[in-house]
Structure formats: structure tokens, C-alpha cells
Amino acid sequence: MKSTFIALALAYTVFGADPTPSAWSYQGTLGPAYWHRLSKEFEVCAKGTTQSPINLKTSYTAKQPPTYAFKDAKAVPFTKDGHSLSADLASTNSSLTHKGMTYFVKQFHLHTPSEHHVNGRHFDMELHIVTKSSTGKLLVNAIFFDVAAKSHSFLQGWKIPKKNALKLDHVKLARLVKAIKGFNEHYTYQGSLTTPPCTEGVTWIVSKRVLPISYSLFAAIKKAIGFNARPTQPAAKGNTAAPKAPVNTTPKAPDNNTAPKAPVDVAAPKAPVDTAFPIVPVNTAPKAPVDAAPKAPVNTAPIVPVNTPAQNQQ
């Protein structure tokens, strides 16, 4: 036991890293609010200036989609890794070209609910296709799914791992890209990975087209991975792909990360107390003072004495 402790301490001192930097989650003291405290490698999760996900707006729309050369794949390893469900696509030789640079598909994984929001709205699921260039640049393609009567054909036939891993018989990447029309309608911006170490410099291509997923498949995925969405981050300062947004204007998830909510007093300014309808102050309407109207003095009219008329004396 003593030798193990010394070995871990030495490793921390020499390499400057936490012994278990991968110990993170979406809840509690290992959740997004504390990622930057779990490892020095994760500090950018709090200190970064172009963090993802964000609340996307119409102004983030781009007209020039990448050129896709995605290929279908068979017997794809599908793993439950403790944070998501991930499919290894490195051997498919699928690629895309964006602004003169070629990116190769590495994997896709799932988030429930969606991490990105569109004009404040989230979706039931978000799929991320991670690609990487030969120079190490990252580009992530994101596609939203909402529960419907029937799943899109890309999802049909999926089996969800109950423990560690299994293989998807057929991953129809080419069909997926065709279904969203090659991302011809999409949002784009410069952001980061949405999981530790929250690496920045990531190009995001987010489809505007939303695909269907059946309730039964969604429920199976949700059961396998639970809630695994990082709250939306402040819009990047100086991001040329989108206008600036004030800090903390996007919804945040509560501490237990069960559902995002808007910060207090951000969605709309409060009206000052009692200003909605003017209240007339007490006694502001002019009142006639007490006894203001002239009164007839008591007995001002002459009183005729009793028996004033002349009487005959007897």
C-alpha cells in the first residue's frame, strides 16, 4: 500500500497530472461545474473562451457545406464507455473536405438530450460524428433527433449494448448524409469538445434538419447512457462565425444536471413592484374638507316667541 502511494505521488510530481484524470461525469461533484477542478488538463473547461455547446441562432447559418465522402460500414464496434455510446469508424476510410482541408472520420457518439440548443430549444438526442485532419484539426458534425413514430433508416436495426460492447451490423453513413442533404442547411461556429478536456479550436457543423427516432430506441439509448449533456456555454467572444452574446444568456442546467433552465432574471426584466398598474395614493383625489360647505348657524332664523301674537286679556 505504501509503495503504491509513493508511486502515485511520484507520477503526479514528475508528470504534473492527476492520477485519474478520466474520472468525470455529468452529475454531482464530478459534473460539468467541477470538471476544471478534477485535473489540470481540464482547466480550459472553465478558462476557455470558445467553449461548446452553445445556443445556436439563425445568424449562425452558413451556406457552404463540406464535401462528404462518407462510406457505409459493417460490423462496427459499438461501445458503452461510461459517458456515452460510441461507434469506432476509424477503419472505414470515410472523409470530408472543408475549406480545402480533408478530415477523416474517427467515431460517432450520442448525447441525450441534445447539447446544442436552437433558439433556446433542445432536442431529444444529438449525434456527433468526430473527424480529424492529418494536422490534428478537429471538425465535428452534429445531427439532432426527435422522438417520432418510426426511426430513420440510419438507426434501424440498432442493438444497444447493455454492458460494454457489441457490433453494429451495418452503419449507413452515406445514407445519413443523404438524409440531411449533405448538411446543405447548417449552423457553424468555432468551439470546443463538449467533454473533458474541452479542447478548443474545433469546427462545428450542425445540421438544421432534424431526423426521427422511435420512442422504443430512444428509451433504450436513454436507459444505457442517462443524462449526458453539458449545459450550453456563453457564446464565444470574437467568434467570426456568429455574433457575440452577453455572458450567461444561454440556459444552464441545475446542479444535478437533470434539465437546463434559464438564469434568474435573464429571460425578461422584472417590473418594479407595483408599477404594472398605477396605484392612486391614499387621499390624493381632492376631498372637501370637513364642514367645508357653509352651514346655517344654529337658530340663525329669527325665532318667534311663544305667544307673540297680541292676545285679549281676560
Question: Span 217-226, mean pLDDT?
Answer: 96
Return the domain boundaries, the chain: 2-225
Is residue 83 annotated as a catalytic residue, yes or no? yes
Side chain identity at residue 79, one-letter code: T
Confidence of residue 193 (pLDDT cuts 50, 70, 90): very high
23-27, 69-73, 271-275, 301-305 — which is least confidently predicted?
Answer: 271-275
| Biggest CA-to-CA distance, the chain | 149
CB within 8 A of 175, min separation 6: which ones? 72, 153, 154
pLDDT reading at 270 higher than 70: no
**Marked catalytic residue, from 36, 83, 116, 152:** 83
Cα-trace Rg, the chain: 35
Report the distance separating Cα 249 and Cα 218, nearest Å.
30
Distance set, CA 29 to CA 7, 25, 66 (Å): 26, 9, 39
The residues pairing with 64 across neighbouring beta strands, listed in sequence order, are none
pLDDT reading at 203 higher than 90: yes
Side chain identity at residue 46, one-letter code: A
Confidence of residue 272 (pLDDT cuts 50, 70, 90): very low
Q: What is the mean pLDDT of the chain?
A: 78
The residues pairing with 166 across neighbouring beta strands, listed in sequence order, are 78
pTM of the model: 0.70
Report the distance separating Cα 52 and Cα 236, nearest Å.
9
State which CATH number among 3.10.200.10, 2.120.10.80, 2.60.40.10, 1.10.150.120 fits the domain covering 2-225.
3.10.200.10
Task: Give the pLDDT confidence score for residue 239 in this predicted structure.
Answer: 55
pLDDT reading at 247 higher than 80: no
Q: How far apart are the first and last CA of the chain?
A: 144
